[in-house]
């Protein structure tokens, strides 16, 4: 499950605040603690002759710890949004905020047994335990908005039961607004950037992710679309036990996808070729994409009847329809890339909102060097080696001035952002596994 911490991570049982007042009080305590830390740090710096900035005081190590602890206490949308930011922009954020978000990813707080029992009684009735031969009280995984338990039905079938933390759905709006306030106060987002469309979309997606009946429907749809391809396995949801706050599905065994780091090159290449082909099918065939590329959403079955291994696909809460105009934008961009038409790549990137017109106008030479570095790398014959990161330092160096020029920052359309998040996350996993994949051939086939 996304962001899931497993049993060996020494979880801490902590009741999740479910009421609006409890959650507001938690942020009030956070504000008070951070303000106290800022005053103390400000006094210390003034005494040493410095004139500290507000952002510097906000992101002290002590305040980073306070923010991470409070957001993890709240769980839900606040933690989920933090995880999304950390995966999408972690390398571009100040080290102190990276520390906050890293702590969020590593937290493993879980509901105490009494709170879990109360949630399940509300969903399944007071005698819910009679539905199972065995229900493991200790969760096998925990994440931002729910935790997962293994259970066995009377007929011997083993299920994975995802139980949502209480209060998550009701707190989405306020949690997202509070995280946005945190970003504003810490001076991480330029005032000229209009966050409203992004915040509204974040609220909408998080509300969809918190609807487990919707997730079960998306899981079923993916299972049907991939049923004829032995390279993928999708759990089957159990409709009789699934409610808006509880998702029951087949337990599918598999190893963490990241363990493939130690696997033979051929195995890594096979797994990532399957994943890239799936992303291309989502975009150009399904018209629907699971937009959360968290590594924990993929597992690997090495020993299969076919002998080739299979990707296990988990968590479909972030599966969303892709608008035709977004699909058309990516098709045009791929066509220009395959033709090595660098001017056209830049033009389409601006037309479709991948790049801001102001940023390109102000930093045209840097943009052209970035496009050239990527195109040169992709133009090499044969499989693309994701382990060869020669172009990354070029991109990082050329983007420094663009990132520093906050007046030209640009936020792409939200639909483009979600698709690009999946593509970037997939490339990140391929790089982690140092996979070699013939990306150009797969892209040409996908749009052909």
Active site residues: 292
Q: Closest by alpha carbon to 436, among 398, 397, 380, 393?
A: 380
**Rounded CA separation 121/28 (Å):** 32
Give the number of other Cβ atoms within 10 Å of residue 51's Cβ: 8
Cα(311)–Cα(307) distance, integer angstroms: 13
User: Rounded to whole angstroms, what are the CA distances from 91 to 101, 177, 359, 400?
Assistant: 11, 23, 20, 12
Could you give the C-alpha distances from 118 to 139, 239, 275, in angstroms and in order? Answer: 15, 21, 39
Sorted by sequence, the CB contacts under 8 Å of residue 212 that are 6+ apart come out as 162, 164, 242, 243, 244, 245, 246, 247, 317
Q: Which helix (H) or strand (E) holds 13?
A: strand 12-13
Q: Which ranges in 107-167 belong to alpha helices (H)?
A: 113-124
Q: Are strands 310-313 and 232-233 parallel, antiparallel or unpaired?
A: parallel
Residues 124, 125, 126, 132, CA torsion sign:
negative
DSSP symbols for 167-228: THHHHHHHHHHHHHHHHHHTT-S-TTS--HHHHHHHHHHHHHHT-HHHHHHHHHHHHHHTTT
What CA–CA distance (Å, rounded) separates 347 from 355?
A: 9
Cβ contact 158:249 at 8 Å: no
């Amino acid at each position: 499950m996304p962001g899931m911490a497993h049993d060996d991570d020494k979880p801490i049982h902590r009741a999740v605040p479910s009421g609006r007042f409890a959650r507001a009080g938690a942020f009030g305590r956070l504000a008070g603690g951070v303000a106290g830390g800022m005053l103390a740090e400000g006094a210390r710096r003034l005494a040493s002759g410095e004139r500290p900035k507000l952002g510097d005081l906000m992101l002290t190590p002590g305040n980073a710890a306070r923010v991470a602890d409070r957001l993890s206490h709240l769980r839900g949308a606040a933690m989920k949004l933090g995880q999304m930011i950390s995966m999408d922009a972690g390398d571009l954020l100040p080290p102190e905020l990276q520390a906050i978000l890293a702590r969020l990813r590593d937290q493993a707080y879980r509901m105490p047994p009494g709170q879990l029992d109360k949630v399940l009684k509300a969903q399944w009735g007071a005698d819910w335990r009679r539905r199972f031969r065995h229900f493991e009280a200790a969760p096998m995984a925990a994440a931002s908005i729910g935790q997962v338990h293994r259970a066995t039905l009377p007929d011997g079938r083993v299920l994975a039961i995802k139980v949502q933390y209480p209060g998550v759905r009701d707190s989405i709006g306020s949690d997202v607004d509070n995280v946005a306030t945190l970003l504003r106060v810490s001076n991480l987002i330029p005032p000229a950037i209009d966050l409203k469309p992004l915040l509204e979309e974040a609220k909408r997606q998080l509300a969809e992710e918190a609807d487990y009946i919707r997730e079960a429907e998306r899981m079923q749809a993916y299972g049907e679309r991939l049923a004829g391809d032995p390279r993928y396995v999708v759990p089957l949801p159990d409709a009789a036990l699934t409610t808006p706050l509880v998702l029951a599905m087949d337990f599918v065994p598999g190893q963490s996808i990241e363990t493939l780091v130690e696997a033979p090159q051929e195995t890594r290449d096979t797994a990532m070729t399957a994943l890239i082909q799936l992303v291309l099918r989502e975009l150009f065939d399904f018209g629907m994409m699971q937009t959360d590329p968290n590594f924990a959403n993929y597992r690997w079955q090495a020993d299969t009847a076919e002998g080739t291994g299979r990707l296990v696909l988990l968590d479909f809460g972030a599966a969303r329809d892709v608008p035709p105009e977004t699909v058309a934008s990516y098709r045009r961009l791929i066509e220009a890339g395959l033709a090595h038409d660098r001017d056209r790549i830049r033009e389409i990137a601006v037309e479709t909102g991948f790049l801001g017109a102001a940023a390109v106008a102000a930093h045209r030479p840097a943009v052209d060097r970035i496009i050239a570095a990527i195109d040169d790398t992709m133009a090499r014959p044969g499989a693309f080696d994701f382990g060869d990161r020669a172009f990354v330092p070029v991109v990082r160096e050329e983007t420094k001035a663009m990132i520093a020029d906050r007046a030209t920052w640009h936020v792409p359309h939200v639909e483009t952002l979600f698709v690009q998040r999946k593509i970037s996350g997939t490339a990140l996993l391929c790089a982690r596994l140092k996979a070699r994949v013939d990306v150009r051939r797969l892209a040409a086939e996908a749009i052909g």
